[in-house]
Structure formats: C-alpha cells, structure tokens
Amino acid sequence: MPSQELNIDSIVKAVVARLRELAPSAAPVDATTTETNQTSNHHRIDSSPVTLVDLRKELGRDWSQVKVLEVPTGAVVTPAVKDELRAAGIELQQFRAPASRTDVSQDSFRSWLVAETDFAKRLAQRSDISGWKCQAFPDLLAATQRVGRHVKESPKHRVVWHTPKPFAATLVSQEAGKSRCVQLHHPDQLPAAMAQATPNIIILDANLWEEQAVVQLLKRWCE
C-alpha cells in the first residue's frame, strides 16, 4: 500500500539521519599522509556501515592494545559499536580517503555493474554483456560513493549492484540523489520492477545471485 511504502521510506531516512548524528566529531585524518592502516595501538576499518560483527571480525577477542579506531569520513557507525568502544576506552576517529582518480563524465558507458573484486573481474571477461561496464570495489563505502556518482551524473545511467550486504546497500542508495532503487530476487521480477518503479539502481544479494542469473538480468535490462 502507498501509505506503508511512505512509512518505510520515512523510517529508513530517520535511521540514517540518527546514525549520522551519532557519527564521531573528531577532525578527519588525511589518509594520504598515513603510511599504514594500523599500528600497535591504532586500527583502521575501511568499510561502512561499521557494525559489531565488523568490529569483532577486525579486532578479534583482545582489544587491550587498541587505543584508536579509525573509520572513513561519513561512515555510519552503529550505536552498539560506539558503546563497545566507549566501554573499552577506545577513541573513535575519522580519516579522509584519497579521492578516486576515475572521472565518470569521461566514460561513455551508461550501464554499470558494481561488485566485489573477484565477481566483477569474472564478468568483465565475458563477451555477452559488452554493453555493461564492470567495476570492482572492495568495500561498501567505496561502492556507495561510485553508485551515487553514476546516478547523479546522468538520469540515463543505470546500475546493478551485486553485494553481500544488500540491505545496507539499499539503505544507503535511498540517499543518493535521483536514485530509484529496488532489490530483486530473480530476473523474472525485472518487468514488474520497471513498470512499478522504473529503477536506475538494482540491488542483488551476492549470497543468492550466481553469475549466470546476473548475466541474464543484465541482458534483459538492455532489451
């Protein structure tokens, strides 16, 4: 129902706004002047959002040596992570990642597949999806920035985003200007999605979408 869709959209925007209000206020550190991602008491996480699962995966069980955790400028850090860091006496800082050297406006492609490195490389080698430009990004934040630039560059650009974090990708895509984002579970859903939402961003769960199904979707969207 339209009222339910509006309510969900409002909730998503409110959550993102609240998380950003809770973002660290420390001055960003320029990543170009930092020689390493971590020292004995500094640790850096390059992805966004930063969740407890990410934190524990990065730091393991023993956090006693960590004094500072650095996250990208603008990264979403969940309140649970902030509570854990505060309890452990770990300072939260931001760092400014180097700007990308790729200029979207100089690229003639208008159809983009954004995915993790290995998957993007495999599809880039295929000859049956020549109309698509495959781009590899190692983390959610970098992919988010690229997707946002694509849809802002031109209303004719379209993006298929193949990611292991589809819900986070859908959430952050809502904030990209001029974005119309949907998440699909099967190529057969494309006609209904086009009729109901005319999306320019399609999110695919990398845990469910195998290579051949993605190729099938890309071909159908070009028809």
pLDDT higher than 60, residue 7 = no
Task: Report the side by side order of strands in the sheet with 68-72.
Answer: 29-30, 91-96, 68-72, 42-44
Q: CB under 8 Å, gap of 24 or more: what pairs does 63-69 form?
A: 63/88, 63/90, 65/40, 65/41, 66/41, 66/42, 66/90, 67/41, 67/42, 67/91, 68/41, 68/42, 68/43, 68/92, 68/93, 69/42, 69/43, 69/44, 69/45, 69/93
- For residue range 136-194, what is the model confidence (pLDDT) as tens digits? 887 777 787 778 777 777 767 888 999 999 998 888 887 766 688 899 999 999 999 99
Residues 53, 142, 13, 198, Cα dihedral to 10°: -120
71 bridge partner residues: 94
pLDDT score recorded for residue 76: 74
Three-class SS of residue 203? strand
Task: Tell me the range of 64-68, 136-140, 204-208 where mean pLDDT is highest.
Answer: 204-208
Spatial neighbors of 129 by CB under 8 A, at least 6 apart, are 113, 123, 215, 218, 219
- Contacts of residue 20, Cβ cutoff 8 Å, sequence gap at least 6: 76
- pLDDT tens profile 74-96: 777 888 888 888 888 888 888 76
> Quick one: pLDDT at residue 9?
57
Higher-pLDDT residue of 21 and 46 is 46
* Span between the terminal Cα atoms of the chain, in Å: 30
Residue 55 to residue 86: CA distance in whole angstroms? 13
Confidence bin at 30 (pLDDT 50/70/90): very low
Stretch (H or E) spanning 133: strand 133-136
Task: Grade residue 127 by pLDDT with cuts at 50, 70 and 90.
Answer: confident
What's the chain's average pLDDT? 75
Q: What is the pLDDT of residue 37?
A: 46
Q: Which domains does the chain have, with CATH numbers?
A: 25-96 (no CATH), 109-222 (3.40.1400.10)
For position 24, what pLDDT does the model report? Answer: 45
CA atoms within 13 A of residue 111's CA, in its CB half-sphere: 13
Indicate whether 217 pLDDT > 90: yes
pLDDT at 56 over 50: yes
pLDDT exceeds 70 at position 13: no
Q: Look up residue 31 and give its two tokens.
A: 């990543």
Rg of the chain taking only CA atoms, in angstroms = 19
